[in-house]
Amino acid sequence: MSILKVARMGHPSLRRRARPLDPDEIRTPAVQQLIDDMMQTMAEYQGIGLAAPQVHEGVRLFVAGYEDEAAGDREHSPLKVLALINPEVEPMGKEVVEDWEGCLSIPEIRGRVPRARDVRVKAFDRDGLRIELKAHGYFARVLQHETDHLDGILFIDRMESLATLTFIEEYGRYWAKG
């Protein structure tokens, strides 16, 4: 496995719509290696999600971490990581929540972004099987953020106001305490 170079805001790969992976491609060694490398890269940079365009690969694939609700000790349980391929995200309900987001491609910056509180996602998993899952709250936000990357959209594009755009140091000093 390898740590991949993460594209930063301004790189053209972040602004292109990624191509869908053919289901026959999913189980190929190249795609499986990409998934493993993305998981390792996400962990290395302490991210919660990473989309293929962020590592210069123009395919509709992302990895995302989530808490295992079955684990008894949530505080000390490691995140599980899921690979989603060709995801289709659909809001469930009309409730939208504004909350803080950051991005490995926009290091050291945070901003408040409105997102659907609940979503349904249809995708392929890393074995090429069709899956459908429902997500709520923070995990729903992560899934929407990563899917946006597949469409060439950054979180700052979704912000209703740039007034909350802040460096992480100032976020910790002035915003996180509230």
d(C-alpha 93, C-alpha 26), whole Å: 31
Residue at token pair 């802040």:
166
pLDDT score of 140? 97
Query: Nearest 10 degrees: CA dihedral of 106, 112, 113, 115?
Result: 130
Half-sphere exposure of 16 (CA within 13 A, CB side): 16
Provide the 3-class DSSP secondary structure of residue 170: helix
**Which residues, including other chains, have CB under 8 Å from residue 39's CB and lie 6 or more apart?**
1, 63, 81, 83
pLDDT score of 151? 98
pLDDT score of 67? 81
d(C-alpha 59, C-alpha 65), whole Å: 19
- Higher model confidence: residue 172 or residue 20? 20
| Arithmetic mean of pLDDT over the chain | 94
d(C-alpha 15, C-alpha 106), whole Å: 13
Domains contained in the chain, CATH given: 12-92+120-152 (3.90.45.10)
Catalytic residue numbers read 146
- Higher model confidence: residue 29 or residue 171? 29
Element (H, E) at 102: strand 96-103
d(C-alpha 141, C-alpha 73), whole Å: 23
Residue 76, Cα to own-chain centre: how many angstroms? 22
> Per residue in 52-63, pLDDT tens?
999 999 999 999
pLDDT score of 77? 59
> Per residue in 67-103, pLDDT tens?
866 555 555 557 899 999 999 999 999 999 999 999 9
